[in-house]
Structure 1
Amino acid sequence: MAAVPVIVLTGYLGAGKTTLLNHVLRTPDARIGVVINDFGELNVDAALVTGQIDEPASIAGGCICCLPDEGGLDEALAKLADPRLRLDAIIVEASGLAEPVAVGRMIRFSGVDNVRLGGVVDVIDAATHFETVDRDPTPPARYSASSLVVINKLDQVGEADRESVFDRIEARIRQSNPAVHVVGAVSAKIDAALLFDITAAEDHSGQLSLRELLLDEAAEQRDGHDHAHPHDGAHAASVTATSTGDIDPGALLDLLEEPPAGVYRMKGVVAVRARDRSRRYLVNTVGNTIHIAAAPPKARSNTLVAIGTGLDLDAVRARVENAVRPIDAPAPAAGFRRLQRYRKLSV
């Protein structure tokens, strides 16, 4: 079974992280596990949580990043990663005091089987950010850990100043994290497709790989661009490429290591021939984190999906198609070694 993505949700008190969580929990057909520090204080909608799983896994004792090695988090993740729950994702909502760097590291080096880091999402209050969080000449250390930053509450900034405030916050973040994905939001409403895939939707459609994202195909075909603006709520777009045969792992990794502008996640199944045997791999990336594992036996054709915002769809499609183009030879040794290094790091 594919590893369950564990998404770390951080943000200072009042930034809107619990609002974002409750919004994501309303995603139709999604099955989400939730790890929270204190269920009562964080005000997660209990009906939404219990509608997805039997109960949230609650951690007592305050800040997640302050838990002892043997305490809390791994036990909660192990409970929620049980294959019988068939969860699409696990979201860890950290307290406002938790440092994203520490929480992300705890997930990455967790001893729990069947989980992988699904990104670190930091929610920012656009109206008060420079009074409460970013007040010093040096950018806060938390910027460096995030894979996705949601600049929330843009409606609380005057319309004339909205774009300049967004750009100022983004510029500060990129001083220490140039590759981070930054989107704007009102009421913390972002497209859940940026965070995870919905297994139930895939099963219902009969597709092996990957949720078909809700796009306006007519708009896509008009000029080959995703019209969602990064300030208006993070609407996701996707590009899918398929092929049959064995691919060049070097070409795939060139794409995964340097994704096209606007791409936040990629996932897929690919075949690589080493010597006289074809092997199939399950690929997942989020931000700059690459996870490669053995593919399930039912996987057949190559499928690779790139998901993000503000995409130049034609340019993204060209690169994704190139990454899954078959080759009539065993994988070049250098590319296969690169693939195996990621495979070992993903265990």
Structure 2
Amino acid sequence: MGGHFSSLLASDVAPGERVPVTVLTGFLGSGKTTLLNRLLRLPDLHGTAVIVNEFGAVGIDHDLIAQTTEGTILLANGCMCCAVRSDLVEALNRIAERTGPPLRQVLIETSGLVDPGPILRTLMADPGIRSRFELAGVACTVDAVLGMGTLDRHPESVRQVAVADRLLLTKTDLLEDAALLSPLVERLREINGLAQLHADRESQPQVLRDHIQARKSTHVAPTDTLFYRAQYAAGDMATDSTPQHRDGISTFVLVRDMPLPRDAFAAWLDMVIAMRGEDLLRVKGLVHQAEDPDRPLVIHGVQHLFHPPELLPAWPSADRRTRIVFITRGVDAQALGETLDVLVRRHLRRSPSTL
């Protein structure tokens, strides 16, 4: 019987048009709700649903509120805001089944104390949710003044940074000296060299709006920019070496020039997920399959859960190498690569005509 990824690969279900979901995370006091309030004052957000995954009051300014019905706040700009105090699945289903204007995108604001992993796993693991919604990406606010101390004392904040696609540096206007920002930026780059960093306060609402309104999720096609940013963060990736950082988080890229047999790759990823799933904070990449060399296989996972893999109609660039970016906790990149090579060689001995 195949493992988790093999089962997804075997299902070969073509995804329908799903609603993109962006997760906004960040530690307590880092400015998530302030940024959300500024975002909701921008135009052209009709069809946006906001879920506040938080205990306590909904952090939306009163002048944005139009009326409240059945736990959903209807905002004056045409957005909806749902305060979730129990089941995120129930909230997403309620939003999806509502009548009215079409739902275009969803933004989930997490509690400042949580590891966002469970929310990402909900989006990937629940079949009903997965058929309607897709993870568009993760944005994380980081306090420019208190960020270093928060990262030192709270492992949750490190994980929030590690899984993000965009890092939004807040409160930069409160710094007495702009040079004080450099150590924090270096620390963030060590934890997550893939994420785009945005320090300009004025542009951040627009950055977040552009992110949530992107019609294709970040897992559909990892761009060359993402790959080379990760390559820079990982150092000399040709050796599959894993840089060691103070937070225990490492970024590396697994690259293979030759096409990979589909079964061997799936068996390898099944094994990696089974053995080190909890330590795979984010995995995304393009896989060059021997059986279908003209269409790259896109993979995207959070810990032990992966999206159903998708085939792109064509390669996004002339580079047809397999490139898989890992953000992990304590995973040995060299051992990971060597294991893949062993499984590929074993497969080729059994089926020498594969390549």
Q: TM class by shorter-chain length? A: 0.5 to 0.7
Instruction: Please tell me the residue identity of whatever aligns with 2:296.
Output: R
Partner of 2:296: 338
2:29 counterpart (4, 8, 14):
14
Partners of 1:128 and 1:261 in 2: CA distance: 26
Q: CA RMSD in A?
A: 4.0
- 1:182-231 deviation per Cα after TM superposition (whole angstroms, max 9, x unaligned): 11133754434431228xxxxxxxxxx89xxxxxxxxxxxxxxxxxxxxx
Shift in Å, 1:50: 2.0
- 1:165-198 deviation per Cα after TM superposition (whole angstroms, max 9, x unaligned): 3332222122232211111133754434431228
Partner of 1:121: 139
Alignment of 1:210-229 (within 5 A): none
Query: Per the alignment, do residues 75 and 180 of structure 1 end up closer, same or farther by CA in structure 2, a change over 3 Å counting?
Result: same
Shift in Å, 1:92: 0.9
Partners of 1:137 and 1:108 in 2: CA distance: 23
1:103 aligns with 2:119: yes
Partners of 1:50 and 1:194 in 2: CA distance: 20
Partners of 2:172 and 2:156 in 1: CA distance: 24
Partner of 2:43: 28
- 1:14-66 deviation per Cα after TM superposition (whole angstroms, max 9, x unaligned): 21100111122222121310111358534213525523557422211xxxxxx
Shift in Å, 1:259: 5.0
- What is the TM-score with the length of structure 1 in the denominator? 0.52
Partner of 1:79: 94
Contact preservation (8 Å) 1:80, 1:90 = no
Contact preservation (8 Å) 1:3, 1:116 = yes
Partners of 2:207 and 2:298 in 1: CA distance: 33
Partners of 1:42 and 1:333 in 2: CA distance: 50
SS at match of 1:140: helix
Shift in Å, 1:105: 2.6
Partner of 2:104: 88
> Which segments of 5 or more consecutive residues in structure 2 lack a partner in the other structure?
1-15, 66-73, 231-281, 301-306, 312-355
Partner of 1:146: 164
Contact preservation (8 Å) 1:107, 1:117 = yes
Partners of 1:50 and 1:139 in 2: CA distance: 30
Partner of 1:67: none
Alignment of 1:1-347 (within 5 A): 2-30=17-45, 31-38=47-54, 41-45=57-61, 47=64, 49-52=74-77, 55-60=80-85, 72-82=87-97, 85-111=101-127, 112=129, 113-135=131-153, 140-158=158-176, 161-162=177-178, 164-186=179-201, 189-197=205-213, 255=223, 258=226, 334-336=292-294, 338-339=296-297, 344-345=308-309
- 1:137-164 deviation per Cα after TM superposition (whole angstroms, max 9, x unaligned): 9993332211111111100002xx31x3
Shift in Å, 1:87: 2.6
Instruction: Give aligned-pair identity as a percent.
Output: 25
Instruction: Please tell me the residue identity of whatever aligns with 1:117.
Output: L
Contact preservation (8 Å) 1:38, 1:58 = yes
Shift in Å, 1:260: 6.3
Partners of 2:103 and 2:60 in 1: CA distance: 18
Instruction: Please tell me the residue identity of whatever aligns with 2:163.
Output: A
- 1:287-316 deviation per Cα after TM superposition (whole angstroms, max 9, x unaligned): 97579xxxxxxxxxxxxxxxxxxxxxxxxx
Partners of 2:308 and 2:208 in 1: CA distance: 29
Partners of 2:156 and 2:17 in 1: CA distance: 40
Partners of 1:14 and 1:165 in 2: CA distance: 19
- 1:85-113 deviation per Cα after TM superposition (whole angstroms, max 9, x unaligned): 42332111111111123332332334312
SS at match of 1:29: coil
Partners of 2:97 and 2:285 in 1: CA distance: 23
Contact preservation (8 Å) 2:193, 2:229 = no
Partners of 1:16 and 1:139 in 2: CA distance: 13
Partners of 1:19 and 1:290 in 2: CA distance: 33
Contact preservation (8 Å) 2:24, 2:140 = yes
Partners of 1:97 and 1:346 in 2: CA distance: 33
Query: Per the alignment, do residues 99 and 50 of structure 1 end up closer, same or farther by CA in structure 2, a change over 3 Å counting?
Result: same
- What is the TM-score with the length of structure 2 in the denominator? 0.51
Query: Per the alignment, do residues 153 and 189 of structure 1 end up closer, same or farther by CA in structure 2, a change over 3 Å counting?
Result: farther
Query: Per the alignment, do residues 335 and 149 of structure 1 end up closer, same or farther by CA in structure 2, a change over 3 Å counting?
Result: same
Partners of 1:93 and 1:9 in 2: CA distance: 5
